[in-house]
Amino acid sequence: MRAIHWFRNDLRLRDNTALAAAARQAEAVLPLFVLDDRLLRGPGAGAARVRFLLDCLRRLSADLEAAGCPLLVRRGRPEREIPRLLAETGAGLLCFNQDESPFARARDARVTAAAGKAGARVLACKDRVVFDASEIRSAGGSGYVVYTPYRKAWYARLRELPRPESRPRLRPFPGAPASLAIPDAAQLGFGGEALELPAGGEAAARRRLDAFLDGPAVDYAAARDRPDRAGTSRLSPYLRFGALSARTCVVRAVAAARERRAAAAGLYKWVDQLAWRDFYHAILREHPHVLRRNQRRELDALRWEDDEQGFAAWCQGRTGYPIVDAGMRELARTGWMHNRVRMIVASFLTKDLLIDWRRGERFFFQQLVDGDPANNNGGWQWAASTGTDSQPYFRIFNPTSQARRFDPEGTYVRRWLPELARLDPRRIHTPWEAPLDAPDYPAPIVDHAERRVLALERFEAARAAARSA
């Protein structure tokens, strides 16, 4: 029997569940990637993510070529291209790794039905997460909607985690069809934006993981909230496209914690972030409406501001709050933003500007190199207090106090806001106190103290309306 392995968000050879299964079960494997314009050129597509994807794809293609099993590239809708390819090649098995977004699940159902009509067996594997929604359940059998009990159940299953799959031995597919060339970003409609992106691919991902485990991981618990330090793994783009598996990350981190007790606190704090990732994927799987509506339906009556000028200033990094503007300019330049800063800028949009979280979520998804529907939505609803977070709605980040706490010398702000570079640490986060020293920097577009009061009033009104409904 011959098999087709359909690569999607699993652009690697090692520890790839479906690819390993295809190699075990078939006498020959045809690796396939389908360029789907709905994802590459649709309204949510962004230059950073598309460029990084294409880089990962080129490097995967080189790895497969070296293994003697070249990648086949097609362009179109997978539900049309894959059945044609099954008929063309006579392959009897289609393998792929599952995804949790509503779009992916609907597409995969269509592909599975079409493959069955073509006479092929379909094998869909769990691979994108460490544990999927069906594996982490409450005592009553339901899924969790609060992270803390989910985390406890998630850690209880770690002893059951299988060892990562090794790199499979792939036997080439005889008479494989001709492949399309992998396009560059310009061919897909993305211009020459000056983006600072990391190198893509499996080898780069593993080098970054090694460097993190050998260095910053030991101080991760303390340094992870400091955007002025290189204290995080920066692995999120690789996890987004599966150049590295979350399973490999957890297994490596747990092993390192056992070997190096002094580093255990930092390593397990990092593993917590992978548990959060699984949690948000489980939420999306069981509550797909969160992509369109509040998870906490009692806040549906919340009144948002229609503030186009405020939204534009936020997008451009011109709000007058340095930590917010530095984060937005980092995002524009690199397609990435430090997680603490993501929380600050999201809180500013939803609690200071009182702009609907869905606008921020859409903007981030378009800009982020690691943009993922589950994680992006979970983070935004957490910041807006409309999601699964058990903390009350009156958690409102003060951008100035957050900046002083997590960027005390202004190192991060100076990097992304050169117009403030000459300000000393006492003024770097409050440039409005020394306007003559920063003439090119805007004044704050809102007063945080006033907006905090207004935000509390809006949330309290929405809750009252829900109680009386």
355 secondary structure, DSSP code: -
CATH class of 2-127: alpha beta
CATH classification code of 129-164+202-286: 1.25.40.80
Alpha-carbon distances, residue 357 vs 283, 290, 402, 457 (angstroms): 17, 12, 20, 17
Cβ atoms < 10 Å from Cβ of 290: 22
pLDDT the model gives residue 391: 61
Residue type, 316: Q
Predicted TM-score (pTM) of this structure: 0.96
Largest CA distance in the chain: 75
Residue type, 445: I
Q: CB burial class (10 A; 0-12, 13-18, 19+) of residue 273?
A: middle
Residue with tokens 């539900």: 79
Alpha-carbon distances, residue 342 vs 167, 176, 355 (angstroms): 35, 45, 16
Residues of the chain within CATH 1.10.579.10 domain(s) are 297-464
Whole-angstrom Cα distance, residue 105 to residue 80? 16
H/E segment holding residue 74? strand 72-75
How open is the CA angle 286-133-25, to the nearest 5 degrees? 120
Residue with tokens 């590295």: 244
Do 123 and 21 contact (CB within 8 A), yes or no?
Answer: yes
Residue with tokens 């690697």: 12
pLDDT the model gives residue 192: 66
Q: Which residues contact 432 (CB under 8 A, 6 or more apart)?
A: 320, 443, 444
Mean of all residue pLDDT scores within the chain? 95
Residue type, 415: R
pLDDT the model gives residue 453: 96
In Å, how far from its chain's centre is CA 458? 30
pLDDT the model gives residue 163: 84
Residues of the chain within CATH 1.25.40.80 domain(s) are 129-164+202-286
Q: Measure the CA dihedral 273/278/280/282, to 10°.
A: -160
- Which residues of the chain register pLDDT less than 70? 192, 390-393
Which three-class secondary structure state does DSSP give residue 287? coil
CATH architecture assignment, domain 297-464: Orthogonal Bundle (1.10)
